[in-house]
């Protein structure tokens, strides 16, 4: 048996980047993966195709996390997808990966961008967890994807860093709250990863080299580097790990 056989995992923002890498890893470990996407249906279905071609099980569903009715839409679409798979409404793993970035420096901030980032990066994961608690199995797993920006100055995107700081705090509170049910709650904090989110910062060989130099391994991370950490945290091997901020930066800024 694989580590996650018989379990259902939800990965938000799984149409590309780190989220896709996490979805692929959890499917490879045997989970039925619910691939959430916000607007890019083609990319969401591509994630499912990749998983299925590798012998895994997955389905895609859509919900715009900044919308006022995001949580209702999310769970209605999830239920429809689970029903098509012959699965019940319960699940075992929730990975809150979906996020928006690009707030800029302090003098560039707008209230519209601030509200959008907090809606997607903070409000959505908090209320997805709240609404899902009666579905999440005892002994389940919640993993919140944060950022190294909460441990190092990141003035280029101050609001983004603030949202991820809120995620770190949420993780601590929920780990204690849900411990009696055997549910673990942890944060994984990537550094620079080769995804669309930071493509502009890797636009030239010189820029890529500068980012790589932050890590002791002198390279930029990959989605698989982060996904493998998540794979451990959602496994039975991580049953005694909760409330933790797990640095997945490749030893950046040591």
Among residues 75, 160, 192, 245, the one annotated as catalytic is 160
Beta strands in 174-220 (DSSP E): 184-190
SS3 187: strand
The DSSP call for residue 133 is: T
What are the structure tokens assigned to 213, written together? 């130099």
- In this structure, are residues 33 and 23 in contact, taking their beta carbons and an 8 Å threshold? yes
Please calculate the CA angle 94-98-103 and round it to the nearest 5 degrees. 145
CA distances from 253 to 26, 148, 149, 169, 218 (A): 29, 9, 11, 22, 12
Helical (H) or strand (E) element with 45: helix 41-53
Q: Is 160 a catalytic residue?
A: yes
- Buried-state track 100-118, b at ≥16 Cβ within 10 A, e below 16: bbebeeeeeeeeebeebbb
Residues recognised as catalytic: 160
């Amino acid at each position: 048996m694989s580590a996650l056989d018989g379990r259902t995992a939800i990965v938000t923002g799984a149409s590309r980047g780190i989220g896709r890498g996490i979805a692929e890893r959890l499917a490879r470990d045997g989970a039925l993966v619910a691939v959430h996407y916000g607007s890019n249906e083609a990319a969401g279905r591509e994630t499912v195709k990749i998983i299925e071609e590798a012998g895994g099980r997955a389905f895609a569903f859509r919900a715009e996390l900044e919308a006022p009715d995001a949580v209702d839409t999310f769970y209605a679409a999830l239920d429809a997808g689970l029903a098509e798979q012959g699965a019940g409404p319960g699940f075992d793993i929730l990975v809150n990966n979906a996020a928006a970035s690009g707030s800029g420096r302090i003098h560039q901030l707008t209230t519209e961008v601030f509200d959008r980032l907090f809606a997607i990066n903070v409000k959505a994961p908090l209320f997805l967890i709240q609404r899902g608690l009666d579905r999440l199995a005892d002994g389940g797993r919640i993993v919140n994807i944060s950022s190294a920006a909460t441990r190092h100055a990141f003035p280029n995107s101050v609001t983004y860093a603030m949202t991820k700081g809120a995620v770190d705090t949420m993780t601590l509170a929920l780990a204690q709250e849900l411990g009696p049910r055997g549910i673990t709650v942890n944060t994984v904090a990537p550094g620079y990863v080769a995804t669309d989110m930071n493509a502009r910062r890797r636009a030239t060989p010189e820029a890529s080299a500068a980012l790589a130099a932050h890590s002791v391994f002198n390279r930029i991370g990959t989605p698989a580097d982060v996904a493998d950490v998540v794979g451990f945290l959602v496994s039975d091997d991580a049953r005694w790990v909760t409330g933790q901020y797990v640095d997945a930066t490749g030893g950046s800024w040591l």
